[in-house]
Amino acid sequence: MKYLAYLSTFSILLLISCGKEEEKTVEEIIASGNETEIQEKRESLSKEMREINSNLKKLDEKLESFEDNSGLALVEALRLDAKTFKHYIKVQGDVQTDKNILIYPEFSGVLEKIFIKEGDEVRKGQKLAKIDEGGLSSQLAEMKAQRELAKTRFDRQKRLWEENIGSEIQFLEAKTAFEQLDNSVEQMQSQLNKATIYAPFDGKIDEIITDQGQVVAPSQTPIFRILNLGEMYVSANVPENFVGSIDVGTEAIVDIRAINKSFTAKVSQVSSNISESNRNFRVRVPIPDSIDFVKPNLIATVKLNDYSSENAIAIPENILQENASGESFTFALDMESDKIGTAAQKTLKVGKSYEGEIEILKGLKADDIVVSEGARTIQKDEKVKVVNFEKK
C-alpha cells in the first residue's frame, strides 16, 4: 500500500503555493533578485516541508495499524555501507635477532681468564676472555728484536747501494731477510691476538658456557652466548602461492601469545628464494622497541594483509544462500514504510571472505537493506516486517 508519504516534493510545494495566493510565487521571488527575500522564502518552505513530513509519518503509522500485518514474517535487516575490506592470511613465525651468536675461540689452549660475568652489557671490541698463549709473547719479542737487527742491516745496505758501494746481492739479501722477519712478526702477532676474545658487537652476555681453566679449541668449544635485543624481528614462512600478494610494506598483525603482546607493523624483508623442502618463502617483520619481554625463539602468529579493497560492500557470510544452479544470493528489502518491505532476491558475485564477512563484488550497493536474520524462512517477493535495523 502506498501512502501520502509518496507524494512528490513538487506536488507538496504546489499545494502550499496554491493555498497562499496572496503571497508571491517562488518564480516572482527569484525574479526579484532579493537575496534576503529568497532566503526567507526557502526557510519558510523548509519549515512547512518538515511539518508535512512529520504529519505524513503519523498518518502512515496510523494507517499501518489498520492493516493486518500479524501474518507477515518477522526479520531483522541490515543497511549496507561502503568501507575498506581487508583479507589476511595467517602463518606461524618465531622471534629472532641477527645478533644472537655463540662465540668460539680461534686459538687452542687453556682458558686462562674470563673478564666478564653472565648478564653483563658489553661494547663492541671489549675484552671478554684470554687464552693461555703458551709462550708466544716471548717468541714474538725475540722475533721483533731480530727484525730490528735485520732492518738496521737492510737500511745500511740500502744507503751503500744508493752510493754505488757494495754489491747488489748484498743489498737484496739484506732486503729479503728483513721482509721475511717482518712477515713472521705480523703472523705471530696475528696468532697471538687470537688468544684474546673480544665482543663482536654491543650486546649482553647471555651465557658463559665454558669455565675458566678448561682447555678450548677452535670451532669445537663455545665459550659465550652474546645477544643484542635491540633489533628483534619475527621471521615466518609463507606459502609460495602468495608470492604476488606479499611484499615489503605489507601490513602485518603480530600476536606473541606467551607474553600477551600484539602489534601492527610492516613487512621489512621478503626472501627472494623459494625453499625446495616446503615451497615457502620467508618474510621478516620488525618488532617495535616498545614491546617488552621479547626473547629469541618465542612463537608468534602473523596475519599478513594479502588483499585490500576500498569502498567495498561486505555482508555477514552466514546470510548468503545458494540456489540450485550454485549461485549465491541474499534478500534485499524494498521498503514501503519504516517496518514493512518486500524481499527481492539478489544474485551475487562474491569475493574473498575474512572473519565472518564476505566481499560482494556485484549485486549489492551502499544503502541497500538486506535481511540479516530470518532470510531462510522467507520467499522471493514476500512481504515481511522488520523488527530490528542495523547499519553495517
Q: How far apart are CA 70 and CA 364, in angstroms?
A: 30
| 384, 74 contact by CB (below 8 A) | yes
Using CA atoms, how far apart are residues 89 and 351, in angstroms rounded to an integer?
15
Give the list of residues 6+ apart from residue 55 with CB closer than 8 angstroms, or none.
Answer: none
Q: How far, in Å, CA of 154 to CA of 172, rounded? A: 9
Q: Where are the alpha helices (DSSP H) in the chain?
A: 9-18, 26-32, 35-66, 136-162, 168-193
Q: What phi, psi does 317 have (nearest 5°)? A: -65, -25
DSSP symbol at 241 = G
d(CA 224, CA 199): 10
d(CA 244, CA 224) in angstroms, rounded, equals 42
Q: What is the pLDDT of residue 63?
A: 65
Query: What does the alpha-carbon distance between residue 132 and residue 118 come to, in Å, rounded to a whole number?
Result: 22
Q: What is the mean pLDDT of the chain?
A: 87
Lowest-confidence region among 42-56, 80-94, 207-221, 292-306: 42-56
**Per-residue pLDDT averaged across 12-35, rounded?**
67
The CA distance from 247 to 89, in Å, is 13
* Residue among 301, 256, 306 at smallest CA distance from 89: 306
pLDDT in tens, 177-230: 888 988 988 888 888 888 899 999 999 999 999 999 999 999 899 999 999 888
Cα dihedral across residues 105, 110, 115, 121: positive or negative? positive
Average pLDDT over residues 16-28: 64
Contacts of 133 (CB under 8 A, 6+ apart): 107, 109, 192, 195
Long-range contacts of 293-296 (CB under 8 A, 24+ apart): 293/259, 293/261, 294/95, 294/229, 294/232, 294/256, 294/259, 294/261, 295/95, 295/229, 296/95, 296/96, 296/97, 296/100, 296/227, 296/232
Domains 73-83+311-391 and 102-227 share a fold: no
Q: The domain 102-227 is classified under which CATH number: 2.102.10.10, 1.10.10.60, 3.30.200.20, 2.40.50.100?
A: 2.40.50.100
Q: How far apart are CA 305 and CA 253, in angstroms?
A: 8
pLDDT value for 3: 38
pLDDT at 65: 62
Task: Please name the fold of domain 89-99+229-309.
Answer: Elongation Factor Tu (Ef-tu); domain 3 (2.40.30)
Condensed to tens digits (0 to 9), the pLDDT of residues 82-118 reads: 999 999 999 999 999 998 999 999 989 999 999 999 9
Instruction: Give residue 258's pLDDT.
Output: 95
With 90 as the cut, is the pLDDT of residue 366 above it?
yes
pLDDT digits (tens, 9 = 90+) for 313-354: 999 999 999 998 999 999 999 998 888 999 999 999 999 999
Mean pLDDT confidence for 141-158: 87
C-alpha distances in angstroms, 97 versus 230, 297, 389? 8, 9, 51
73-83+311-391 CATH choice from 1.10.1660.10, 2.60.40.1120, 2.40.420.20, 3.30.70.1450: 2.40.420.20
CA distances from 137 to 141, 142, 188, 191 (A): 6, 9, 9, 10
Q: Where are the domains of the chain?
A: 4-66, 73-83+311-391, 89-99+229-309, 102-227
What's the pTM value of the predicted model, to 2 decimals?
0.65
Let me know: does 156 contact 132? Beta carbons within 8 Å: no
Report which residue type is found at 30.
I
Q: What's the one-letter identity of residue 353?
A: S
Q: Average pLDDT, stretch 46-59? A: 84
Contacts of 4 (CB under 8 A, 6+ apart): 56, 59, 60
Q: What residues does 331 pair with on adjacent strands? A: 345
The whole-angstrom separation of Cα 170 and Cα 161 is 9
**pLDDT tens per residue, range 255-280:** 999 999 999 999 999 999 999 999 99
